[in-house]
């Protein structure tokens, strides 16, 4: 095949996937093709440009200086091509293709499935790859378009749109409370056994007074620490200890008497909920529509709270 007949966009797309996935085999898997095809396309691109782009050994892969320049230009060209395709094929801006989203386990397997289903029913040309993971997202390494993130720690290099806040409260089971002195003040709270959501607190609990605004902190020695909100909820229900949790996850338990909110006038600082995505010159319709959905849906979820000033 002569160079003039090679699909240059396909070659650049393959090269970008090799770099962002970390290997030829991973790129082949993501593109649903063979490693031999990916290797052939890489060689075609190198022949086309007359330069070596990658240095490969058995266990490692490294970009050359020309490869680094090619990668940056290829990403820009592909973004422009995607913008052109969206504009020509889809003038109304209806989302098509695959949107790859990372979401926290708790939100992702529960509250957001219903609005996500309605979203997909509305746009039949769209598919969503819904990955549940509570760790900070690696957009390039994991090949994801956006991520829902709970908490204040954000990579400053990404775009962060605040969607809502998660109120947090202290709860315990009636069985646990029967075994301890009545909880009337912070010292009584600190005297209880505790379980801790290790993502946000381990050894110290900080609460603020809803009316007065003053804060108090006390140390705890958790009987159980976990990064799973559902595991902590179950431990609290079983009477292992008191815990500070997102209000939405225990709403039914409080209403039906399985749990009791302790010192309601004292609450933990609310956790911000963001949609994160990497900066780009162009954002496809599928990402723009998903952001619109999350801005609408997230503050309306049970136990959530709208923010007065949305940051972007």
Decide if 19 contacts 63 (C-beta within 8 A).
yes
Model confidence pLDDT, tens digit, residues 96-149: 888 999 998 877 888 899 999 999 999 998 999 999 987 778 887 788 899 999
Region class of 239: left (phi > 0), else alpha (psi between -120 and 50), else beta: left
Model confidence pLDDT, tens digit, residues 228-272: 889 999 999 999 999 999 998 899 999 999 999 999 999 888 889
Give CA angle at 226 (115, 167), nearest 5°.
Answer: 50
Distance of CA 251 to the CA centre of its chain: 23
Q: What's the rounded Cα separation, in Å, for the pair 53 and 73?
A: 13
| pLDDT attached to residue 5 | 54
Q: What's the rounded Cα separation, in Å, for the pair 246 and 271?
A: 9
The CATH number fitting domain 97-165+272-306, selected from 3.40.50.280, 3.40.190.10, 3.40.50.410, 3.40.640.10: 3.40.190.10
CB atoms within 10 A of CB 33: 14
For the chain, helix (H) and strand (E) counts, in that order, are: 11, 13
Boundaries of every domain in the chain = 8-89, 97-165+272-306, 166-270
Model confidence pLDDT, tens digit, residues 199-214: 888 889 999 998 888 8
Q: Does domain 166-270 have CATH number 3.40.50.300?
A: no
| pLDDT attached to residue 310 | 40
Give CA angle at 61 (59, 67), nearest 5°.
Answer: 170
Identify the band that residue 90 occupies on the pLDDT scale cut at 50, 70 and 90: low
Question: Fold match between 8-89 and 166-270?
Answer: no
The answer on pLDDT for 312 being more than 70 is no
Concatenate the DSSP letters of all residues of 120-179 into one string.
Answer: HHH-TTEEEEEEE--SPP-TTTTT-SEEEEESS---TTEEEEEEEEEEEEEEE-HHHHHT
| pLDDT attached to residue 38 | 93
Q: Give the pLDDT mean for 142-167.
A: 87
Fold of 8-89: Arc Repressor Mutant, subunit A (1.10.10)
Pull the structure tokens for residue 205.
């609990």
The answer on pLDDT for 2 being more than 50 is no
Q: Which of 259, 273, 196 minimizes the C-alpha distance to 228?
A: 196
- For all residues of the chain together, what is the average pLDDT? 87
Model confidence pLDDT, tens digit, residues 216-230: 999 999 999 998 889
Identify the band that residue 290 occupies on the pLDDT scale cut at 50, 70 and 90: very high
């Amino acid at each position: 095949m002569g160079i003039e007949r090679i699909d240059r966009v396909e070659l650049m797309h393959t090269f970008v996937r090799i770099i962002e996935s970390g290997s030829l085999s991973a790129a082949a898997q993501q593109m649903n093709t063979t490693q031999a095809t990916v290797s052939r396309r890489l060689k075609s691109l190198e022949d086309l440009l007359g330069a070596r782009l990658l240095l490969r050994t058995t266990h490692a892969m490294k970009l050359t200086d020309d490869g680094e320049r090619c990668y940056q230009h290829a990403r820009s060209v592909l973004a422009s091509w995607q913008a052109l395709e969206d504009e020509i094929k889809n003038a109304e801006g209806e989302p098509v293709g695959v949107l790859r989203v990372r979401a926290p386990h708790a939100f992702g397997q529960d509250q957001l499935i219903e609005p996500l289903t309605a979203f997909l029913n509305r746009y039949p040309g769209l598919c969503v790859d819904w990955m549940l993971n509570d760790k900070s997202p690696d957009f390039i390494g994991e090949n994801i378009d956006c991520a829902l993130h709970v908490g204040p720690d954000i990579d400053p290099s990404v775009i962060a749109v605040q969607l809502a806040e998660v109120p947090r409260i202290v709860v315990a089971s009636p069985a646990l409370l029967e075994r301890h002195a009545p909880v009337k003040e912070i010292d009584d709270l600190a005297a209880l056994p505790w379980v801790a959501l290790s993502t946000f607190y381990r050894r110290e609990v900080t609460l603020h007074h809803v009316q007065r605004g003053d804060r108090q902190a006390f140390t705890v020695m958790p009987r159980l620490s976990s990064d799973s909100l559902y595991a902590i909820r179950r431990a609290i229900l079983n009477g292992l200890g008191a815990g500070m949790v997102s209000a939405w996850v225990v709403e039914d338990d409080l209403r039906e008497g399985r749990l009791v909110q302790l010192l309601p006038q004292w609450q933990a600082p609310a956790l911000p909920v963001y949609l994160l995505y990497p900066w780009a010159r162009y954002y496809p319709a599928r990402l723009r529509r998903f952001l619109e959905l999350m801005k609408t849906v997230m503050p309306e979820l049970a136990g959530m709270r709208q923010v007065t000033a949305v940051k972007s």
